[in-house]
Structure 1
Amino acid sequence: MRKISFKLGLLFFVFVLGIETVLFASLYVTLVNARINEEFEQLLARGNNHRDVLEKSYHPSTLEHVTMMESEAETDVVITNDKGKILYFSDHILPFAKRVIKKSNKNIPYGGMIVQKNWQRESYISTVSPIRIDGKIKGYVYMFQHTASIQNMIDRLKHHFLVVGILSVFLTIMTIAFLSRVITIPLIRMKQATEKLSKGDFSVRLQVKGEDELAQLGKAIQTLAKDLEYLKKERNEFLASISHELRTPLTYVKGYADIARRPTLEEEERAKYLSIIYEEAEHMQKLVKDLFELAKMDQHSFQIEKEPTPLCLFLKKVYVKMYPAFQAKNMSLVYRCDEDITVHIDRQRFEQVMMNLLDNALKYSHQGSTVSIDVRMEKKNVMIMISDEGIGIPEADLPHIFERFYRVDKSRSRTGGGTGLGLAIVKEIVEAHGGSIYATSQFGKGTNMIITLPGGDEGVHGFIG
């Protein structure tokens, strides 16, 4: 993560430094040009002021006065006649002035103009303002300013920009280092969390705040850790359940097979033990079949074929099949259904659902009690309820009864029968039909299993999962 922090900080620094460089360069050039233009404008304005004075009073005394004023200033002045002959000038400017006057253009506008603006190579900059009296050019006022003052101004600007630039780079580095650290700390924690997950440690707890992308990633990792922890627990319980379910019948099979192999055993006893072995083999076969069905459901390869089915007629056939079993236990099976309800179901798979639920109701109900099948329409859905007057389900166990291998009887007594997979398969099949199933129960009074199926027209093919 240090590499990521360094790379991220370096990337930010390069981009920010590039932006700052462009902005500083643009600001520097703009300021320099603005200040130089101000110097030219001030010099030209000073020349125009002298021109205005001379136009009002063009006398030798006035010319001398203007020249004397500039001799005490930072600027210099040269006054010529209309032919360019120098009449008056301030000290030390004459050699340079002659060269400028010689090269200057005679078509000079009344507002004046810049005649020497190369402040980087020449020692002076210069402007000229024409003196016009009675509509005729009487002469010219040339103003000169030493470029050393401009160079000093530029040097001061460079110094200020250099100091500000160094300070801004330092602050940029500090800010980027802080921000990159703030950004990468959650990533470092997430990396450490994923390393724990890869080692099988699912006790990951990330403190995430906000709703940005990093917070969402942290929440996703947190959710993943919880899901993996749950799956690990489920896997362990699943393997333990399979081991238990297979160990018991295998123990019976092995034990009774050893007894049945004894040559001195009576044939009647041998037949009894072989019958027990057969029953246990059937139990294992049913368990393996249920596991195989659940595996196909998990792999989304368990196809169902839906077809329009008159529900009442379908349930009537199920009622007829199950009625003898209820009669043998001295129990009543009641069937109530409207005659005009049609649903799209896989008849074989849905019969499996109903037989499983009715078998559970038969198994966990008392003699003389009643089990009922009720069907009704509720809005656009079909409700099927299987009710019994049996032992019921404790409230703490009710949310878990559709989990694989979950049994309300924690002792897993084999006298209760079943593999603990029946309701899990029921739930998968019902949901594959686009429906849902849930249970309500009062412990000691009975249980209701409620199936909801979508009504109306729908597709006729589906997959479990």
Structure 2
Amino acid sequence: MPPADPPEDLPVDEGALSLRWSGRVSLTPRILFVNIFALALLAGGFFYLDSYRARIVDGRVAQAEREVRLIAEALALLPPDDRTDEMVNFARKSGLRLRIYDRRGRLVADSRALGVRNFQLVDPDKDGWQQDAARALDAGIDTVVGNDRDPLYRERAPGRGLRWPDVVTVRTTGGTAASVWRAPDRTPVVTAAAPLPEDRVLMATVNARDITSTVRTERARLSLVLAVAFLLSVLLSLFLARTIVRPMRMLARAAIRVRLGRAREVVVPRLPSRRDEIGMLARALSDMTSALRSRIDATEAFAADVTHELKNPLASLRSAVDGLGAVKDPELRAQLLAIVQDDVHRLDRLITDISDASRLDAQLARAKFEAVDLGALIGALVAYRTERGIARGVTLHFDPDEPLVVHGEGARLERVFANLIDNAISFSPPGGTVRIAGTNDGDLIEIEVVDEGPGVPPEQREAVFRRFHSVRPGDEAFGRHSGLGLAIARTIVEGHGGMIAAESRRDHRDGARFVVQLPVAGA
């Protein structure tokens, strides 16, 4: 469904539509930035995975503490000679490397030395490039989120057990302790210690490579999703740029060419297949350009017509003035002065009508409309002309029988009907009747002015409303009309949202019928 046309003449708040720094950037990079910014939020999932990893490590530390404490409690219940064998069983079942240190930090028993090799560190130099890339990604994320790097895990000599922080903590506090280390391949190593009888310490060690494997797998999946989303986002951004930016650039270039004065050469694309705001803008610009062309043509034609109409009285006036200097006969001089006087009046009338016609559109745009009773207005015009007397015995008949109220400017509407009545009187035969009637159908008010003159030929019914088009009765003095009366009347009527037309009489008798339609007030 196409968007509705916006209401006209709404005030535009430029401050509400203005953009600061982003208004200086083209739409294409702005579209790309918005879409990629959304992807950046998705990329935040990498940092969520880092927090997820930290929670798993914390859970594994707590688990190691519980396990080493339970194993220590179980070993404490056994005789010292049986503890070594049971420690090996616990190491196999739990996957921990278990060691026992005496009070001086000397190694008493080690599950690895007893054959349980469940703790092995991976040499990163023997891994493939995939693991190197994964470790580089781990390091990069740790740097971005500001994680403190765990200390590097290094084995202590058998007689240097007191160099393990967990062993020292257990001997000092008598409780359990745990630490997290970093293996050479960046996997976490968890150590935990618990006290044993005879002032000994049990230490457990586990390389939690499963945590790193899980996190890296999820990062790989997220990376794949992010890559696909990034590609789709770029493609969609380019599609939006193509469907929005390109037509807007075309329209902007066309508007610039119109501004540069080449409006006749410019074809503004109407984009008929688009039913969105871009299409609506294209059609509005195309219509505006067409209206501009029509207005330019009308202005040029009006200027040419003004020049032509002014040349005739000026030529006559120049000829009469030139003759005044050469003629000595008082009677001829009086005739020439009369011609000068008529030409001056004619020029004054032309200039007045031209001034009114040229300013009419602007004046109507600023006019304040109010309720106007056309019945009372036309009735007053008829009464005024009847009281003054009408030439050749022409009579006016107007008897409205229903309200004829419109919204408009009374003085302008009065000029319309005054022009129509005067025009009908001038074409009426001696003793003829000019009939004025009005009807109201609830939406439109129609006023018709009918005379008994020769009428308007069908091919002239549109031409009579053109500026300076003047076909006058044969007995009328030349130059009494400027040919702008009906053109002014049409401009006023259309400025009030109505229409005016010349038609034949409904009874098919000789005469002209001018019809004016205006919206009813409040319709």
Q: TM-score, normalised by structure 2?
A: 0.62
Gap runs ≥5 in structure 1: 109-113, 457-465
- Structure 2 CA distance, aligned partners of 1:304 and 1:34? 71
Could you say which residue in structure 2 is the equivalent of 1:90?
Answer: 111
More deviation in 399-408 or 343-352?
Answer: 343-352
Task: Give the conservation status (yes or no) of the 8 Å contact 1:129–1:142.
Answer: yes
Task: Give the conservation status (yes or no) of the 8 Å contact 1:373–1:384.
Answer: yes
Shift of 1:343: 9.8
2:117 is aligned with 1:117:
no
> What pairs up with 1:148-167 in 2 under 5 angstroms?
none
2:93 is aligned with 1:32:
no
Closer, same or farther in 2 for the Cα pair 1:142/1:455, shift >3 Å?
closer
Closer, same or farther in 2 for the Cα pair 1:145/1:241, shift >3 Å?
same
Could you say which residue in structure 1 is the equivalent of 2:191?
Answer: 126
More deviation in 267-276 or 158-167?
Answer: 158-167
Could you say which residue in structure 2 is the equivalent of 1:237?
Answer: 301
- Structure 1 CA distance, aligned partners of 2:90 and 2:175? 28
Task: Give the conservation status (yes or no) of the 8 Å contact 2:193–2:202.
Answer: yes
More deviation in 373-382 or 189-198?
Answer: 373-382
Closer, same or farther in 2 for the Cα pair 1:448/1:177, shift >3 Å?
closer
Q: What is the letter of the counterpart of residue 192 of structure 2?
A: T
Q: What is the letter of the counterpart of residue 363 of structure 1?
A: S
Could you say which residue in structure 2 is the equivalent of 1:103?
Answer: 169
Q: What is the letter of the counterpart of residue 189 of structure 1?
A: M
Could you say which residue in structure 2 is the equivalent of 1:291?
Answer: 354
Q: How many residues align?
A: 436
Q: What is the letter of the counterpart of residue 233 of structure 1?
A: D
Could you say which residue in structure 2 is the equivalent of 1:324?
Answer: 390
1:418 to 477, 481, 492: 481
Closer, same or farther in 2 for the Cα pair 1:83/1:176, shift >3 Å?
same
Could you say which residue in structure 2 is the equivalent of 1:189?
Answer: 250
SS of aligned partner of 1:288 = helix
Shift of 1:119: 3.6
- Structure 1 CA distance, aligned partners of 2:73 and 2:402? 122
Q: What is the letter of the counterpart of residue 31 of structure 1?
A: L
Deviations 1:269-314 (A, max 9, x none): 5544544443333222211111233345445399899999955762
Task: Give the conservation status (yes or no) of the 8 Å contact 1:126–1:144.
Answer: yes
- Structure 2 CA distance, aligned partners of 1:384 and 1:334? 13
Could you say which residue in structure 1 is the equivalent of 2:311?
Answer: 247
Shift of 1:415: 6.2
Task: Give the conservation status (yes or no) of the 8 Å contact 2:317–2:343.
Answer: yes
- Structure 2 CA distance, aligned partners of 1:150 and 1:349? 89
More deviation in 314-323 or 3-12?
Answer: 3-12
Task: Give the conservation status (yes or no) of the 8 Å contact 2:106–2:161.
Answer: no
Q: What is the letter of the counterpart of residue 299 of structure 2?
A: R
Task: Give the conservation status (yes or no) of the 8 Å contact 1:119–1:150.
Answer: no
Task: Give the conservation status (yes or no) of the 8 Å contact 2:179–2:192.
Answer: yes
1:441 to 500, 503, 517: 503
Q: What is the letter of the counterpart of residue 90 of structure 1?
A: S
Closer, same or farther in 2 for the Cα pair 1:214/1:370, shift >3 Å?
same
Task: Give the conservation status (yes or no) of the 8 Å contact 2:437–2:448.
Answer: yes
Q: What is the letter of the counterpart of residue 52 of structure 2?
A: A
Shift of 1:116: 0.6
Closer, same or farther in 2 for the Cα pair 1:19/1:437, shift >3 Å?
closer
Task: Give the conservation status (yes or no) of the 8 Å contact 2:434–2:451.
Answer: yes
The share of aligned pairs that are identical, in percent, is 19
- Structure 2 CA distance, aligned partners of 1:274 and 1:335? 42
Deviations 1:80-122 (A, max 9, x none): 79999976423386658652222135445xxxxx711244899
Task: Give the conservation status (yes or no) of the 8 Å contact 1:44–1:127.
Answer: no
- Structure 1 CA distance, aligned partners of 2:83 and 2:342? 138
Could you say which residue in structure 2 is the equivalent of 1:461?
Answer: none
Shift of 1:144: 0.9
Deviations 1:292-337 (A, max 9, x none): 333454453998999999557624423415753142xxx5543434
- Structure 1 CA distance, aligned partners of 2:207 and 2:161? 12
Shift of 1:242: 0.6
Deviations 1:111-141 (A, max 9, x none): xxx711244899842235799xxxx9x9986
Q: What is the letter of the counterpart of residue 234 of structure 1?
A: A
Could you say which residue in structure 2 is the equivalent of 1:450?
Answer: 516
Q: What is the letter of the counterpart of residue 441 of structure 1?
A: E
SS of aligned partner of 1:420 = coil
Closer, same or farther in 2 for the Cα pair 1:394/1:97, shift >3 Å?
farther
Shift of 1:233: 0.7
Closer, same or farther in 2 for the Cα pair 1:232/1:430, shift >3 Å?
closer
Shift of 1:182: 4.5
Shift of 1:259: 4.6
1:227 to 280, 291, 294: 291
Task: Give the conservation status (yes or no) of the 8 Å contact 2:450–2:511.
Answer: no
SS of aligned partner of 1:117 = strand
- Structure 1 CA distance, aligned partners of 2:368 and 2:168? 106
Give the RMSD, CA atoms, in angstroms: 5.5
More strand by share: 1
Closer, same or farther in 2 for the Cα pair 1:322/1:371, shift >3 Å?
farther
Gap runs ≥5 in structure 2: 1-21, 114-154
Closer, same or farther in 2 for the Cα pair 1:178/1:66, shift >3 Å?
farther
Task: Give the conservation status (yes or no) of the 8 Å contact 2:503–2:513.
Answer: yes
Could you say which residue in structure 2 is the equivalent of 1:111?
Answer: none
SS of aligned partner of 1:390 = coil
Task: Give the conservation status (yes or no) of the 8 Å contact 1:5–1:181.
Answer: no
